[in-house]
Amino acid sequence: MLPKSYRLNRSAITRVVRQGKSFSHGALLRLKVLKLPRGARRPVIAIVVSAKVATRAVLRNRIRRRVHGALAPMVRRITPHALVLFIQDRTVARMPFVTLSEELDTLFRRALLY
């Protein structure tokens, strides 16, 4: 899990979803990005897994934990932005960890966050 200082709160999530720029990589992942004010020192991130992706909370939480684990080494390289990462397919739960990390890396490069 990411430290609390890197997490986005619920009200900020709605702002990022409404005003942010959208990026996607395949059918698995979608990213919404909103630039933070100049004084921000670190990115803030939220990971959203809807009930349409996985009806059982156990599977949604497993997906969320895997993505948090893949994000942990990358988070220090990301420029200060507000990010909301939407997981759009349940195959992320079965995807090899290395592949998930590469997918996230590609998505962040496409969004110019490094």
Q: Report the CATH number that the domain containing residue 52 is assigned in CATH.
A: 3.30.230.10
pTM for the whole thing?
Answer: 0.88
Q: What is the pLDDT of residues 69-106, one digit of tens each?
A: 999 899 889 888 888 999 999 899 999 999 999 999 99
Contacts for 96 with CB less than 8 Å, ≥ 6 apart: none
In this prediction, residue 34 has a pLDDT band, given cuts at 50, 70 and 90, of very high
Other CB atoms within 10 A of residue 97 CB: 10
Mean pLDDT confidence for 46-67 = 94
Distance CA 112, CA 107 (A): 9
Which residues have a Cβ under 8 Å from the Cβ of 60 and sit 6 or more positions away? 49, 51, 53, 54
Domain range enclosing 13: 4-110
Domain count, the chain: 1
What percent of the chain has a predicted confidence (pLDDT) above 70? 100
Residues facing 23 on adjacent strands = 31
The pLDDT of residue 3 is above 90: no
Contacts of 99 (CB under 8 A, 6+ apart): none
- Asked whether the predicted pLDDT for residue 62 surpasses 80, the reply is yes
Mean pLDDT of the region 46-53:
93
pLDDT score at 41:
86
